[in-house]
């Protein structure tokens, strides 16, 4: 059970406090301007960036500048491109050098076709990086036991998949996510698979602390308008969670014909 009782309903991860519960990825946007507009519309305070070797030309390398123009943004470097724990650890250290922030989104996907996270390498990288003082936010399969293990080695949050990355299948892992949320004492942030704002709302309704979206906004007809829609869905989902949902229809409407409790004696010992 998590205690959430701030007057402003903020949440904390890695010692930083955030009021927005929508995290944004910065990939797949048409151009830097579209991205900046969408991030602004989303109200996100926490965005992911990737790390690459400097190319020959210097075409689209002004990403950071357009991001830094938006105020109040915390950068979370990811380790995309890493296929092993060692590569991710190296990328994380470089990312910290560049961002000056302790956050790292550990993502390790060795299979280039489906970008599914490697649980074993992810665990290993998380263990090493957490010990080095990083605020580790692992992108992970929605596996409740892996979640416990990652929490045990000191991760700052958990970022389980809603569904396969890029699939737009929403919360296909809902049952597992519920188990993760129930067991976790650190924030659970659904990452990957979301397509519609209603799915983001559903994640917050079940008690996830936040969601991270990228493709759903970047590939929308109007990214800034979609970012705004996600922001409002996330807020609605959170309010619903705080309000306490009405339970589903009774599973036990029928009562048995012969009473189960007739054996009880009214006498106290």
Please state whether 143 falls in left (phi above 0), alpha (psi between -120 and 50) or beta. Answer: beta
Residue 251 touching another protein (CB under 8 A): yes
For residues 84 to 123, the per-residue mask of contacts with another protein, x marking binding by CB under 8 A and - elsewhere, is ---------xxx-xxx------------------------
Please say which residue, 9 or 62, places its beta carbon nearer to another protein: 62
In whole angstroms, give the CA distance from residue 20 to residue 150: 24
Query: Nearer to another protein by C-beta: 113 or 255?
Result: 255
Report how far residue 175's alpha carbon sits from residue 251's, in angstroms, rounded to the nearest whole number: 18
DSSP designation for 188 = B
Nearest to residue 101, comparing CAs of 135, 50, 151, 128? Answer: 135
Q: How many residues in the shown chain lie near another protein by CB under 8 A?
A: 61
51 binds another protein (CB under 8 A): yes
Any contact of residue 185 with another protein (CB under 8 A)? yes
DSSP class per residue in 143-171: -HHHHHHHHHTT-S-BEEBSSSTT----S
Is there a catalytic annotation at residue 105? Answer: yes
241: Cβ contacts below 8 Å, ≥ 6 apart: 204, 205, 206, 207
- Which of residues 80, 122, 157, 161 is near another protein by CB under 8 A? 80
Catalytic residue among 2, 28, 69, 105: 105
187: nearest Cα among 26, 43, 10, 44? 10
Q: Which of helix, strand or coil describes residue 71?
A: coil
28 binds another protein (CB under 8 A): yes
Is residue 260 a contact point for another protein (CB under 8 A)?
yes
164 belongs to the binding site for another protein (CB under 8 A): no
By CB under 8 A, is residue 154 in contact with another protein? Answer: no
Residues that bind another protein (CB under 8 A): 1, 25-29, 32, 35, 48-54, 56, 58, 60-61, 63-64, 75, 77-78, 80, 93-95, 97-99, 148, 178, 182-183, 185, 212, 214-215, 244, 246-252, 254-256, 259-269
Q: Which residues are known catalytic residues?
A: 105
């Amino acid at each position: 059970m998590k205690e959430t009782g701030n007057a402003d309903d903020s949440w904390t991860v890695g010692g930083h406090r955030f009021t927005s519960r929508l995290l944004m990825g910065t990939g797949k946007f048409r151009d830097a301007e579209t991205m900046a507009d969408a991030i602004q519309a989303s109200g996100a305070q926490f965005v992911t960036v990737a790390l690459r070797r400097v190319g020959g030309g210097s075409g689209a390398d002004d990403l950071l500048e357009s991001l830094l123009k938006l105020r109040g943004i915390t950068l979370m470097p990811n380790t995309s491109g890493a296929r092993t724990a060692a590569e991710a650890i190296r990328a994380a250290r470089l990312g910290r050098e560049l961002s000056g922030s302790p956050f790292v989104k550990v993502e390790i996907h060795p299979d280039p076709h489906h970008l599914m996270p490697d649980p074993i390498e992810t665990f290993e990288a998380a263990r090493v990086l957490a010990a080095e003082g990083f605020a580790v936010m692992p992108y992970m399969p929605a596996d409740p036991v892996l979640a416990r293990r990652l929490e045990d080695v000191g991760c700052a949050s958990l970022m389980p998949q809603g569904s396969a990355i890029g699939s737009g299948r929403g919360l296909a892992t809902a049952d597992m996510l519920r188990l993760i949320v129930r067991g976790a004492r650190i924030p659970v942030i659904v990452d990957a698979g979301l397509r519609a704002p209603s799915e983001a709302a559903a994640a917050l309704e079940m008690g996830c602390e936040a969601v991270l979206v990228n493709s759903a906004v970047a590939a929308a007809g109007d990214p800034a308008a979609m970012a705004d829609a996600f922001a409002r869905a996330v807020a609605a989902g959170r309010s619903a969670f705080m309000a306490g949902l009405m339970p589903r229809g009774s599973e036990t409407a029928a009562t048995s014909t012969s009473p189960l409790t007739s054996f009880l004696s009214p006498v106290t010992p």
